[in-house]
A = this chain, B = another copy of it.
Amino acid sequence: MTTSLAVSTVIFALRPSETSDLKTVWIPLVRRIRDPYVGKWALPGGPLLSEEDLASAAARNLGETTGLDPQYLEQLYAFGGLNRSPGERVVSIVYWALVRSEEAARASEGENVRWFAADSLPPLAFDHNLIVEYALWRLRNKMEYSRIAHAFVGETFTLAQLREVHEAVLGRALDPANFRRTIEASQSVVATEQRLSGTKYRPPRLYRYNDAIDLADQGPLGPAYRSSRAPSPQQITPNPHPQERSTRQ
């Protein structure tokens, strides 16, 4: 009995909720067209090719199946239980990814690809329900001490937009005043001189991500380290994105 190696990805995007007025977390799933669990929904994934590293495999697979280009990509966990897949032994190295709302909007949705609200999924193929649950837990956790929220917004953004991201992921409203101070204290954003116009009422200031301050989550595996060091594994935030702008002046 041979054991095969696969790479899958949990992809997160924020979309307007069907019930609440806040945005909520959604993930795209693909329908199984092969034998184990045919017809069931599953995480996008596939075998690891011999000449690509793990993060590349995740990014490629994600692009091929959903057409998406993620803003953030990080390894989640390696699942290797004996009975994950009936008949055959599969070890899955799972990544999780964040895509911006605009990117998510233009995602190919069809008969075999569909978005689901992350906290009310149907029964999925394999152990994918557990995997998504764990990924969601990581996302929510990391939102509190890291700055991944920026991966959900554009290059410039208002604090209200950034707050909306936090609220969507955390699932509860945040005090605008306190949110502002917390973010400003963290130095993770820098104010631009521009303001967002076209809104009703007072135009909010636009901010930009502060590259100078590094996140320092992931420790020695983070991008900051790896550049100044020897061999280095994979695990990278993918190539930046053609950016849209929602500002003038």
* Chain A residues near B (Cβ < 8 Å): 1-3, 5, 48, 50-54, 75, 77-84, 89, 91, 93, 127, 129-130, 133-134, 137-138, 141, 219-221, 229-234
Contact = CB atoms under 8 A, between A and B. Distances in A.
Contacts of A231: 81, 83-84, 127, 130
Contacts of A232: 81, 127, 130
Contacts of A75: 77-78
Chain copies in complex: 2
Contacts of A52: 82
Contact of A1 (B50, B80, B91, B93): B50
A233 to B, nearest CB: 5
Given A1-B50, A134-B221, 20 more contacts: A1-B51, A3-B48, A51-B82, A53-B80, A53-B81, A53-B82, A54-B80, A54-B81, A75-B78, A77-B221, A77-B233, A78-B78, A80-B233, A83-B231, A93-B93, A130-B220, A130-B232, A130-B233, A137-B219, A137-B220
Contacts of A219: 133-134, 137-138, 141
19 contacts: A1-B50, A1-B51, A2-B50, A5-B5, A48-B91, A50-B89, A51-B82, A54-B78, A54-B81, A54-B91, A77-B221, A79-B234, A80-B233, A80-B234, A81-B233, A127-B230, A130-B230, A133-B220, A137-B220
B51 A5 contact: no
Contact of A233 (B1, B3, B127, B233): B127
